[in-house]
Structures are given as C-alpha cells and as structure tokens.
A and B are shown apart, each in its own frame.
Chain A
Amino acid sequence: MNILAKLKETTLSVLPIILIVFVLHLSIAPLGWQVFGGFVIASLFIILGLSLFLTGIDIGILPTGELIGSKLTSKRNLPLLLVSALIIGTVATIAEPDVIVLADQITSVDSSIPRLPLIIMVSVGIGMMMLIGFLRIVLSLSYHVILIISFTILFVLAAIARPEHVAMAFDSGGMATGPLVVPFIMAMGIGVAAIRSNSTAEEDSFGLVGLCTIGPVAAVLILSLFTPGTEEHSAIATTAAEQVNLFGQALGPIIKDTIVQVALALFPLIIIFMIFHFVIIHMSKFRLIKMFEGLAYAFIGLILFLVGVNGSFVPIGRELGFLAATNASPPILIIIAFFLGAVIVLAEPSVWVLANQVAEISGGRIARKTLLISLSIGVAIASSLSMLRVITGFSIWLLLLPGYGIALLLARFSPKLFTSIAFDSGTVASGPMSCTFILALFLGTSQALKGNPATDAFGLVSMIVLLPIITVESLGVLYNIKEKKLRRLSTKSQDGGK
C-alpha cells in the first residue's frame, strides 16, 4: 500500500529537521520546552499531511494531467494545444495563494507597483511559458537554446529595471509556482511527451515546470520598467508570523485561512479537469471517482501540511534565526543555515513528486535518492550563501549573474535529460516549506543583526531556485563521465574477447 510507504518516507525526511531544531534548542537557541513540544506536534501534522497530499497527487492530479497532455496532443491541432496551454497556465495560477502573497509582499515594498496588473501579469507569464514549453516539445526545439534566449532577455530586462526590484523579480519565479500547480504542469508535460515515438520523449518529459518560473520574473521586471518607484521600504517582516506561538494557540484563524487558500487554489484545477473530461478526455467512471478521491486527499493533506508550516515551523524558524544570531558567531550561523537548508528541502511536497516521476520515466536509472541528495546539497549551498549575504550585505547580482552563467554553461555538457530535470528541480525546491521556513530564519537573523529585513530577505528564493539547477546539472555531467568510462570498458572487454 503506497500510503504506508509514503508515511515512512515522509517521517524519515522530517525527523532530521526535528533533530537539528532539538540540538539548536539545547545549545544556542533555547526555545522553551512548550514551544518545542508544539513544534513536535506540528511535525506530526506535516508528516501526515505530506503523506496524504502525495497520495492524492499520485492518484488524482498526475494521471489526469498526463491524460490532458496526451489527449490534447493526439488531436493534432497546434492552435488548440497552444491556446489550451496559455489558458491552463494562466487560470491555474491566478487563484494560487502564493501569487497573492507574492503580490502583497511586492506591493508592500514598493507601493507604486499596481497590485491587480501584477497578479494578472504573473499568471499570464506562467501561461506564456507553458505555451512556449509545449511548442518546444511539439516542434522538437532545443531546450538549451530556449533557455539561453529566455535568460538573455531576463538579464537585459534586469539591467534596465530598477535595481531594487531585481532580487524581488527573481524571487517571484520560485514563489508563484505553488504545490498544486507544479505537479499538474509537470504531468501535462509528461503526457505531451509520452505519446510521441521518438528518442527525445524521455528528456522532453521534463523542463516545463522549470520554464514556467521564467514567466513571473519577466512579468515583474517589465512592470518595474513602467513604475516610478518609491523610496519607502515598509518592512515585509511584518507579514511573517509576529511571535512564537505554542502550536495550538491561535491556531483557529490559521486553519480557517489555510482552508480558504487551498480551496481557492484547487477550484480552478477542478474546473479545468471537468471541462477537459467532458470535451476531450472522457475518463471512465472508475478513473473519475479515483480522481476526485485523489483531489480530496490532496486537499486535506495540503491543509494539514500548511497548518503545521504556518502554525509552528515559520514562527520557530524566525525565533531560531533571531536567537542564533544573538548567541553565535557568523561562521556558526552559516553552518546552521547549511544544515537546515539541506534537510528542509526533503519535506517539500513537489520535490518528492519530481523525484518519483524522474525515477518512473527513467525506468529507475536515475534513482530517487540520487536526485534528492543533489537537491539537498543545492538548497544547503543556497541557504548558506544567502546567510553570508545577510551578514555581509553584498549585491545579489554577484550571485545571480555568475550563477546563471554556470547553469547555462553546464547545460551544454550535461545530458539533455538532466538539464530539463535540473531546471524543474529549481522550481520544485522553492515551495511552501523551504521558502517560508528559510525565509523566516533569515528574517529573524536579519532582525537580530539590525539589518534591513526587507532588502536582506529578498534574493533568498532566487538562490533556492538557482543552486539546485547547478547541482543537478553537475550530477548529469558526472553520469556522463561514468557512462563514457563504462562504455570504454565494455568495448575493451569485447576487443579482448576476439
């Protein structure tokens, strides 16, 4: 039974987080036993929620997304395919709570950016990138070339946009893609690639989610060009939880908010699924029932998960950051950021969805463990680099430009399958767990170091998107070298046998 296996996996991935927090609690960041107890209970919520959510995604969203992708392609109608991609991408994200939170954060930093146009442009940005992603799969265009073109445009835009908006813009790519939309888009890409009988079907299965992060970045940068900008920086710090609560205390409003948010995000997906069911895919009765069961599990699971994250993990992350920065020296802060980053990403829902899909599509050749480890290393480096930035305050350009330069260069040497998985990895790593928790940690640190939380914290998400791209591509390069060695060995042994 898969749900039991999932329960075991998620328990194993949340335990290290509890352990690290426990060690910090005993050493440099005493939280108080009641708060720590609340944290443990919240972890149980997260374990249970994550298992339910992943089960729901497996039986509800992934199969339906794949069916929509493959049935749309089999209609052999390019305009239909592209218009559907644009509409699905836009509609699925416009009600995403993450997009609304993103818009609130951005407008709170710079009130001259209009809120509604921002939300619309971010969603359309995702829709446009989905359209381009589909077009690429159908026309067999090179993923690498599309990446180079997109990022050249992004960096030109970033160079002429208002400098204070750049970090914020790159963050919005990771923030706008939420936990329900990501598996759905991923599944559609797999579906479109699955019904083609050529050799690139495997590598074309991935990469769509990675492309989708580019849309919101471009959207925010373009908006930035047309806004006068303001000097006032109202701290976004206030949007994070105010103080550490005991888990259970003041939980009522959090639960209510979470239910509304998740329902809002799920609703457009159900509408899309039903329209496609009646018009194109015509699921069998059994499949349809299973889809709704899956959606129900995902709904309940995500609520449990988010209640755990927002009710306890976020305030504790913030408190940990504050206490650690008060009691420990900068090198220790960087080490703490490294280890927390490494473990927190394993409790990220979409990360598991991606790892499972990669194992499935590659027939087990790229094991889940391998991918998870490279993601974990990536986020660990991202988190410690960002901590260094909070402490020293250097410009985000110093990381973004060389970072993406390396990512695009590595894409030349890494196998194509790995490149597309790498760009997807960046997107899945920046989900509701790692982003909110690490962000909270940094807000706390920045506060203790008397920095400016509003500017220091921005740029963190873009690092969590960027670093896994580099580590997964490096993994691809390693695979390439190993495979070449193996091939050389086997030809040698054949020669010897003659």
Chain B
Amino acid sequence: MPVPLETVYTHGKLILSIVARGLGEKLVSITKKSGARGGTILMGTGVGESSLLSLLGLGDADKDIVFTLTTNDESDAILEGLGHCKLQEKRKAGICMLIDVPHILKHVVPGSFVLPEQQRSPTMEKPDHTLIVLIINKGYAEDAMEAARRAGATGGTILTARGTGKEEDVKFFGINLVPEKEMLLIVADEDNSDRILEAVRSVECLKEPGSGIVFCIDVERFITLGKQ
C-alpha cells in the first residue's frame, strides 16, 4: 500500500541562467556538483547586445536558458560553484540571477520532511537588479527590445511561447488554435528599469489593448559568467 503523500510548501530560490547555446547541459552538471538536483533547459535567442549588429540584422545569438530550483542554503553554494567554474574562462558565457521563491510545492511522506525554521530569507536587501518579463504577440519582441535598448538595456532574450486557456480560443476542425506569443526577458539595473518599462510601453505596436503583459521580478543576486 502506498502511503498517502502530504503536500508541503517550502521557501526557496530560483537560479535563472542564460548561457550561450550548448552550454546549458554543462551548466546543469556544474550546479549538480554543488548540490542542485537537476535543471530545466529551454532554448531562446539573445538579441540587441550591440546596436551596430542589430542594425545589420546580425545581432541574434542562440541561447540556452536554465531553471534551477534550490533551497536557500544550497543556492549560495551553487552560485559560489558557478563563480569558479570552467565557464568563467569562456568569453561572454552568459549570466546568472538568483530569484526569491516564496513557495515550492513538494509531495512528501508525512513526517519525513521537516520544514526549515526560517521561512523567509534573512534580510531582503534592496535588490540591485530587476528582471523585466514581457509576454507579447509573436513578431513584436524585437521592436520592444529595440526600444528597451535605447533606454539603456544591454540585451535581452526571446523565447517563443503560446498563449492558452482564454475564452476567446477558437476551434478549427476540432483543434484549438492558440495565439503565438514571444516572451522577452531583460535584466536591468534598478535605476534603468523604470526607463526601460516606460520605453517599452510607448512602442507603437504594443499600445493596443491585448497586445501583451509586462511584469518585473526582483533579482537578489546577479552574476556574469565568463570574461566580459
């Protein structure tokens, strides 16, 4: 008889890393050495790092995006490990950010899991970086990035996505058609983030209602990987 599992929520951290294409697996294996249990890799495209290259249409660079969920204690060790790994020797290998996660859902055997005493992270200092996330209709992420770059953003990452679950989803021969979306991630200094938000908001093709949503996430720590 399987024991009924109990659901608990723990406090933890999300390490979000964006690295050059092909380095995702390496990054996961490095984090595993410092205690991470695994990772999830997505594929995206880096855009807008250089204005000249963007102008020539050559600014795109393929990226791997890695999600690693950890506990408070482990996250420091993992970031420490990443700070001294081999990736640091590569040129512009990528970036890494630490994001606070208030609830991580876990299914455990009752009694086997002791909730850590400290539910909140010790002192939540004022974050110095912000992750700006835009979810907009497909085809407009580059326009948004162009505006953000003029407002001081140093680069962004585009992921392709699909919107779903809304009542206006339509059927075509019995199959749901869903709008294609693009998700644009931009990391900004605290000082810059307001200006970038304002710039993105005023892009002509993003002014119409229903064209997308934007939200910001506080980044507790931000490190770069590789020689800059």
A488 part of interface (Cβ distance < 8 Å): no
A130 part of interface (Cβ distance < 8 Å): no
Are A197 and B175 touching (Cβ within 8 A)? yes
CB distance from B114 to the nearest CB of A (A): 20
Instruction: Name the segment of B7-15, B56-64, B73-81, B189-197 touching the other chain.
Output: B56-64
Instruction: Please name the residue on chain B nearest to A283 by beta carbon.
Output: B139
Taking each of B174, B175, B179, which has the highest tally of chain A beta carbons within 10 Å of its own beta carbon? B175
Are B179 and A195 touching (Cβ within 8 A)? yes
Instruction: Name the segment of A69-77, A232-240, A473-481 touching the other chain.
Output: A69-77
Instruction: Name the segment of A17-25, A31-39, A285-293, A427-435 touching the other chain.
Output: A285-293
* Residues on A with beta carbons closer than 8 Å to the beta carbon of B53: 1
In the bound complex, what is the Cα–Cα distance between A139 and B174 (angstroms)?
9
Count how many chain A residues have C-beta atoms less than 8 Å from C-beta atoms of the other chain.
Answer: 38
Are B178 and A197 touching (Cβ within 8 A)? yes
Q: Mark A128-160, 1 if CB is under 8 A from B, else 0.
A: 000000000011100000000000000000000
Are B142 and A2 touching (Cβ within 8 A)? no
Instruction: Please name the residue on chain A nearest to B2 by beta carbon.
Output: A498
Are A284 and B175 touching (Cβ within 8 A)? no
Instruction: Please name the residue on chain B nearest to A281 by beta carbon.
Output: B139
Are A139 and B57 touching (Cβ within 8 A)? no
* Residues on B with beta carbons closer than 8 Å to the beta carbon of A67: 138-139
B43 part of interface (Cβ distance < 8 Å): yes
In the bound complex, what is the Cα–Cα distance between A290 and B170 (angstroms)?
31
* Residues on A with beta carbons closer than 8 Å to the beta carbon of B67: none
In the bound complex, what is the Cα–Cα distance between A13 and B140 (angstroms)?
35
Are A364 and B41 touching (Cβ within 8 A)? yes
Q: Mark B192-216, 1 if CB is under 8 A from A, else 0.
A: 0000000000000100000000000
Are B60 and A74 touching (Cβ within 8 A)? no
A456 part of interface (Cβ distance < 8 Å): no
In the bound complex, what is the Cα–Cα distance between A5 and B92 (angstroms)?
14
Are B177 and A76 touching (Cβ within 8 A)? yes
Segment 22-42 of B: residues with Cβ below 8 Å from A: 24, 41-42
CB distance from B2 to the nearest CB of A (A): 6
* Residues on A with beta carbons closer than 8 Å to the beta carbon of B174: 140
With A287-B139, A364-B41, A364-B43 known to touch, is A74 a contact of B58 (CB < 8 Å)?
A: no
Are A139 and B178 touching (Cβ within 8 A)? no
Are A2 and B177 touching (Cβ within 8 A)? no
In the bound complex, what is the Cα–Cα distance between A410 and B36 (angstroms)?
41
* Residues on B with beta carbons closer than 8 Å to the beta carbon of A5: 21, 61-62
How big is chain B's contact interface, by range?
A: 20 to 34
B164 part of interface (Cβ distance < 8 Å): yes
B143 part of interface (Cβ distance < 8 Å): yes
* Residues on B with beta carbons closer than 8 Å to the beta carbon of A281: 139
A259 part of interface (Cβ distance < 8 Å): no
B6 part of interface (Cβ distance < 8 Å): no
B176 part of interface (Cβ distance < 8 Å): yes
* Residues on A with beta carbons closer than 8 Å to the beta carbon of B60: 1-2, 58-59
Instruction: Please name the residue on chain B nearest to A59 by beta carbon.
Output: B57
In the bound complex, what is the Cα–Cα distance between A281 and B137 (angstroms)?
12
Q: Mark A40-67, 1 if CB is under 8 A from B, else 0.
A: 0000000000000001001100010001
Segment 269-289 of A: residues with Cβ below 8 Å from B: 281, 283-287, 289
Are A139 and B173 touching (Cβ within 8 A)? yes
A194 part of interface (Cβ distance < 8 Å): yes
Instruction: Please name the residue on chain B nearest to A1 by beta carbon.
Output: B61
Are A76 and B170 touching (Cβ within 8 A)? yes
Instruction: Please name the residue on chain A nearest to B64 by beta carbon.
Output: A364
Instruction: Please name the residue on chain A nearest to B59 by beta carbon.
Output: A1
Are B177 and A196 touching (Cβ within 8 A)? yes
A3 part of interface (Cβ distance < 8 Å): yes
B180 part of interface (Cβ distance < 8 Å): yes
Taking each of B53, B62, B139, which has the highest tally of chain A beta carbons within 10 Å of its own beta carbon? B139
With A2-B58, A195-B162 known to touch, is A73 a contact of B138 (CB < 8 Å)?
A: no
Are A197 and B177 touching (Cβ within 8 A)? yes
Across the interface, A196 reaches (CB within 8 A) one of B139, B176, B205, namely: B176
In the bound complex, what is the Cα–Cα distance between A76 and B2 (angstroms)?
48
Across the interface, A284 reaches (CB within 8 A) one of B61, B139, B164, B173, namely: B139
Instruction: Please name the residue on chain A nearest to B42 by beta carbon.
Output: A363
* Residues on B with beta carbons closer than 8 Å to the beta carbon of A195: 162, 177-180
CB distance from A424 to the nearest CB of B (A): 20
A297 part of interface (Cβ distance < 8 Å): yes
Q: List 28 A-B contacts (CB under 8 A).
A: A1-B53, A1-B59, A1-B61, A59-B57, A59-B60, A67-B139, A70-B138, A76-B170, A140-B173, A195-B162, A195-B177, A195-B179, A195-B180, A196-B172, A197-B162, A197-B169, A197-B175, A197-B178, A198-B176, A284-B143, A284-B205, A286-B142, A286-B143, A287-B140, A287-B143, A290-B142, A363-B41, A364-B41
- Could you list which residues of chain B lie within 8 angstroms of chain A, going by C-beta atoms? 2, 21, 24, 41-43, 53, 56-62, 138-140, 142-143, 146, 162, 164, 169-170, 172-180, 205
Which A-B residue pairs are the 10 nearest by beta carbons? A293-B57, A197-B176, A197-B178, A286-B143, A76-B172, A284-B143, A286-B142, A290-B57, A196-B175, A284-B205
